[in-house]
Amino acid sequence: MHQRTFARVAPMRARIFFYICAIVAVFLTYRLCLVQVVHGARYAREALAQRSDTVEVFARRGSLLDRNGNVLVRSLPSESVYAVPREIGDPAATASKLQTIFGKLDPSVVAALHDRRLWFVWIARKVPHEVAERVRAMNLLGIALKEEDTGLRIDTSGRLASTVLGFVGTDENGLDGLEYSYDDVLRGHSGRVLLETDEFGRPIPFGRERVVAPAIAGASLELTIDSYLQFIAEQALARQVKVFHAEDGTAIVMDPWTGEILALANLPDFDPNHFWKYSDSQRRDRGVMDAYEPGSTYKLITAAAALESHKVSLSSRFPAHDQLEVGGYTIHNAEDGFMAGTGGSETLEQIVEFSHNVGAAEVGMSIGAKTFYAMERKAGFGTPTGVGLPGESPGIVPPPQEWSDSSLATMSFGQGVSVTPIAMARYYCAIANGGLLMQPRIVRAVYDQQGKLIQSNPPKVVRRVFSQRTAAELREFLRMVVLHGTGDPTAQIPGYATAGKTGTAEMVVDGGYQPGDYAASFIGMVPYTHPRYVIYVKVEEPIGSHYGSVVAAPAFAAIARAAMLHAGVLPSGTTIASNGG
């Protein structure tokens, strides 16, 4: 009985099991077709999206080059160091080893290394290649490196021209100087790449990679700066600032025929690679941002207005006095040992040569406010020069309706008006080149990463300030300053014919003149007959002497001599092969 029952039940169970397996197989086949055939493409896209990440591809920032192609600033690929605290076995030992590379770590970083709940903490951003290699060689558990989307900006020249070049932020955005004003040109456009990544966003080896948008590198700027002349200007300026314990200083070298700035030095300066360690004052481009009362160097405005208007000739004479009462204000000549003209009168040339404030005031009052102000504006004072550097001050040149009874007299020798060093240097370039006001240039050309010229920046004449004859007469005045006047002998260079003007002006502090605070300056050219260079030097708040002839003229002489030798012109006038562009 039992055997017959079992014989009937066993085949039935087998059939039921078979049917169940068949049903399951059909269902799985259906699901497999549904997943792989019907919805396969969609599921593949979703799976890829879950393990994919679109990353920004670093677009290398353009370089800054000097006029001879020497690299001043460049960007290099960079890496940053980070930690995954929960993967670190011995946080104390790890921190100790990292400190052998980075020095003392921030306490918050050390604390984070001990917190095993954390997945990520930055150790150092944008480290140099050699530092990244040292970290990599340690092979520390839980310490890794990540390639940055932006590069490491390196000033290859150190502090050279730092206040002109400026600096960039962590994301390579220009924050000051040329880096800021030409940021759109230098930055380029980052690209995007679709990568297969793990849960931490790290690329999977041999994973799928697709370029969504290619990175376009930034363009490079070829500057008008000559690295050698920049170095010479900075060294000469630094010597005078140090000797006279001065607060700050500026030196500018320009080509008067093209308006190119060959050197623009400011002290104090800073290290752009560690810009955050310096104050705003140390990073300041004083050559374009700081307007000051120029003092006697402004007498060449008075002289130009007088000659160009034909109200004063070379033979005109003015009463020679050491003081003059104007509008309740007493004007004095400087107590520098240069007496007023002999015979009770003096010419315009003598007034400039011996830098007499009283004589300049008399000339200014003789030509009138309208004539004087017209020359100021024609010379470009009171408006920015458009040099292309950020924060340029226009200076302060008030119109005649705002003048007091003594304004014309005091402005005639450079007080009651303020100008920037770059504007002053540009005006003397007009004297040097025959009367043309040039557009100052700091950028010579723009090139792409392959060296192809994108844009050139040729010389540009703004307007004619005065005639060639007037310019020649003004150069003769400046030559006499160096030979017999206030520039003798400090502005003289054996073997080279120089010309220039001293300036000594009281500084305005908190709205008033501060006793003992002076700006000592000298602006000159070499050789004076057909100048190659116009050189400006200003030193503020010197101690021991405040005369431009003593404080600033020696720096002019040092820069001028080096510049002429650099140009291949020997002291005797013999020309050799040029060393600079």
- 296 annotated active-site: yes
* C-beta atoms surrounding 327 within 10 Å: 13
- Give the DSSP letter string of 471-514: HHHHHHHHHHHHHTSTTTTTT-BTTB--EEEEEEEEEEETTEEE
| H helix intervals, 114-210 | 129-138, 162-165, 177-181, 183-187
Closest by Cα among 562, 574, 3, 538 to 290: 538
**Do 505 and 415 contact (CB within 8 A), yes or no?**
yes
Neighbours of 109 (CB within 10 A): 16
Phi, psi dihedrals of residue 475, rounded to the nearest 5°: -65, -35
Residues 183, 218: contact at Cβ < 8 Å?
Answer: no
- Under 8 Å between Cβ of 175 and 43: no
Q: Are 341 and 347 in contact (CB under 8 A)?
A: yes
Phi, psi of 243 (to 5 degrees): -60, -40
> What is the helix, strand, coil percentage profile of the chain, to 5?
40, 25, 35
Torsion 529-66-236-513 (CA) sign: positive
Entry field: residues in the chain? 581
Q: What angle do CA 499, 262, 558 make, to 5 degrees?
A: 45
Question: 157, 181, 227, 296: which is the annotated catalytic residue?
Answer: 296
Fill in the DSSP letter of residue 194: E
Task: Count Cα atoms within 13 angstroms, Cβ side, for 360.
Answer: 31
Task: Sort residue 560 into left (φ over 0), alpha (ψ -120 to 50) or beta.
Answer: alpha
Enumerate residues 6+ apart whose C-beta is below 8 A from 323.
Answer: 330, 331, 332, 333, 358
Inter-residue contact 266 to 278 (CB < 8 Å)? no
How far is residue 533's CA from residue 70's CA, in Å, rounded to a whole number? 21
Strand partners, 147: 79
CA distance 263 to 203: 47
Q: What is the distance between the alpha carbons of residues 249 and 61, in angstroms, rounded to a whole number?
A: 31
Q: Which residues pair with 65 in a beta bridge?
A: 71, 222
Q: Is the separation of the CB atoms in 375 and 304 below 8 Å? A: yes
Chain position carrying tokens 């290859």 = 156
Instruction: Identify any residues that bridge with 67 across adjacent strands, giving them in sequence order.
Output: none
So which residues are the catalytic ones?
296
